[in-house]
Structure 1
Amino acid sequence: MRRAFTLAAEGPRVGDHARVGAVILAPDGTVLAEGHHRGAGTPHAEVDALMDLPAGGAAGATAVVTLEPCNHHGRTGPCSLALVEAGIARVVYAIDDPNDTVHGGGDRLRDAGVEVVSGLLADEAEAFLERWLHSIRTGRPWVTVKWAASLDGRAAAADGSSRWITGAAARQHVHEQRADHDAILVGTGTVLADDPGLTARGDGGELLRTQPLPVVVGDREVPESAVVRSHPRGLVTVPGHDLDAALRSLRPHGVHSVFVEGGPTVASAMIAAGLADELLVYLAPVLLGGPGLALGDLGVGSMNERLRLDVLSTTELGPDLLIRARPSRSTP
């Protein structure tokens, strides 16, 4: 199963799919074939592995898969049926697929006389597919909120200037995080004030191979001359200020994860609404003072209402410090 996870990790991290790996074992435990899902529209991991075997080569074998084999006709046929037709005798998978339109592969296999074992390394599968599972289960994408600030919590100087608080290493890390999410979201205020491109770029300014879908939320019009209108993925605009509804509206676009980089207004609203699943805070060793706070009102009126965080990691990026945190699950 851990080998199947390694294979799954070779698939694209972003896109409208789950990363899945599969290993086909002979009755004596010998590896017959391996496969993984390479993205939407490509063969699923089980079929990818079966394609490496001759006709009848999987008869009596065991398939080890990181996610329950699918049971529906989409861009590809149901993997559960492919496994039955290949003569697989036993299927071991980590977790059930939470998607109602896909779930049921395990039952289909059992009905066909295939031995099915589920739950192997389930905790590791939950962690590996965390963002995708969250999106399917809640109906809204995983949200990462990012901001950069001085040590005294300012995102801009008194005159409004904000470039650059952090150094080159931190800024490049941000671009890598953009590429690691399906979409990047800002408010119309950020577009009008900064005219950002919202692309993911390399340290030489080149576009990275994977680009997030740019999303702008708010009622003000995005100018025709705005740089973001030239984004290689196009532009999605969502009117209004209901952030939960805005996030849910991205599902038809195949968005399972969103990188929020929209300034204090959007960042604060996401956190106050309980929509932030992870925070990336880049701290620079400078002091700015003044009114340019990185966050605004979070709805915290007293210390008893403070929002607790669990710090997952701290990383030095040149002179700067990255703090990765999540809303605390522990009891105050």
Structure 2
Amino acid sequence: MSRGNALEALIAGLRGSPTDRTDWRAVIALANHTLLTPDLFSSLAQSGHTHYLPEDVREYLQFVHDCNRERNLRLRTQLREAVAALNRRDVVPFLLKGAIPLFLSPAGRVPSRMTSDLDLAVDSPEEAIARACLEELGYVDVAGARGMARQQDAGMLELRTSRANGLEPPKLVQRDGLRVKIPPAQSRALHWMVHDLLKEGDYWRGRIDLRHLHDLARLAESDGVDWTALQASMSDRSARNALDTQLLALHHFFGTRIPAKCAQRPMVRFQHWRRIFTATHPIIGAPLRLAGNLMWGTWRFSRDYGLARRGPSDLLRRIARTLFNPRTKI
């Protein structure tokens, strides 16, 4: 089965409408690569389509879903422990990315989203207190990674400093005696987009983080996102082009309603075509992907002067990781 057909079938499954004559081996391979296998089973179960699946496919998808559920339950317990300890020091953390649905989910349920780690943020004056608090719980820094961990936990915990983004202020939420700050939907969408498109260079490199795109589609459906306000918050033309390119992908895959003017600029239309083409034709689209990687690498390393001071070996390692590590992107 071609990558394009597998991608189309995976998207159909995530939308709760599996296609006929699906090559489930190819679809499952792509779902595993993009960390969407639990979400795929959950969507099919909610739409009542799991009984149409081949028995071995249904059993595999449910097995991965159930394993992920147990892990998410452990992550939620870990998150609540950390928040409780911080609250005792009068620190109210900001929850980011996957930590938000884990905290907000009802007691007997957890989201099907596969979460890699727990992301928390605190105000800059509270960072030292928060770090000391987590160290008292047994957390230690992980070498070579941005995060803290304990041997008994299901995932790392990443503590960062909160940054104002000029949008709505976070909302104070209290659950079972715990206090956290949760950014509004606008800020959460902006965080995902800036992280993927600009920080990791997906806009230039022609890559798509399908899991985050699925997150954005669900966020737009459940909370509503003012895409026009997000466009206005972009700092320059390149950032606005990146945002509009992501919005076109969001509409293309999940049918999310977006402003009509997103597709007006030729550069946006070209970038959208390039990302879809390389995602559905990874072999013949390889030259486009390589050109994007080289462009991103040149831009990235020309602006990070600290890389030069670390020596040529470190620079070569980073270049290789940038160009050849596909991670979970398509």
Query: Could you state the TM-score of these two structures normalised by the residue count of structure 2?
Result: 0.28
- Structure ranking higher in strand proportion: 1
Considering only CA atoms, is the larger Rg found in Structure 1 or Structure 2? 1
Query: Could you state the TM-score of these two structures normalised by the residue count of structure 1?
Result: 0.28
- Structure ranking higher in helix proportion: 2
